[in-house]
Amino acid sequence: MVAIENLVLVFVAGLITALATGLGAIPFFFVDDFSDRWNVALWGVASGIMVTVSVFGLADEGLAYTEGGIPTMLVLGLLAGVVLVEVGDAVLDRVDVGGDAQAAHDHDAPLEDDVQTDGAGHAHDDHALEAKAIAQGNPKTLLLILGILTIHSFPEGVAVGVSFAELGFDGGLSVLGFSIPLLAVFMTIAISIHNIPEGTAIAIPMRAMGLSKWRMVGAAIFSSLPQPIGAVIAYGFVSWARDFLPFGFGFAAGAMVYLVVTEFIPEALETGENLPNGGYRELVIGFGAGALAMLPLMVL
């Protein structure tokens, strides 16, 4: 039986990552806009963080729980993570919030009625859809968008949850009477940092609509609300069925790396297409900075 205090601790860790998303909207309290150069670099930082923690943290930890031979459970988890992202994109392709689009035009600035979904633009479309949903304030639409965001944010919550698998075991970091695994501390920090540019990306279309600054902060946090829930579910599952721990690590790693390849990087290059180098230099520099920031993970 999983102790309730452990579940609360994991939920709090997931909630911290969700609240960090709101920090991405804070700069708009001081500036009107970010340059494309900075936006591309931020996407690069987020990508570097996600790939590094996925490969050197989650996948590596999953291999550690594999007793020789082919890591079947880890591979199955990786594939399941990819499938989840593809399912999320397929659902997003069918979403239409344009039925009440006139409500969006009642605000200070317009937003396109129809959101195009064409493969490389999934991440961009996701943010535009959420911005429109928040602007309209339609509860049914918000619930639909939250469901889609659950598919996209859930893997990050799972990453936090499975990283707490050794909670209470010797060798962890002592915090408030808990022995917390170093991987869990590092993963919570990493996902929190990664969520900041996510929050910025969500706030940008809302800024164009003239919505209030605090509403942008709330929308950014709203987008990551599935993370603490995913963290608790993942922790409870791997604590109850520890044989599936490699699957949990693989699931989170596969989904996050696939998101980087199919959404984050295309989003960055789309944003930087008018830069002199097409945004590749800023993307590479940002990716390198994100990876270097996670360097301590490699020596855990």
pLDDT for residue 45 is more than 80: yes
The whole model's pTM is what? 0.78
3-state secondary structure 105-162: HCCCCCCCCCCCCCCCCHHHHHHHHHHHHHHHCCHHHHHHHHHHHHHHHHHHHHHHHH
Q: What is the pLDDT of residue 137?
A: 61
pLDDT for residue 2 is more than 80: no
Q: Which range is least confidently modeled, 49-53, 54-58, 152-156, 180-184?
A: 152-156
Q: What is the pLDDT of residue 233?
A: 92
Are 105 and 138 in contact by the 8 Å Cβ rule? The answer is no
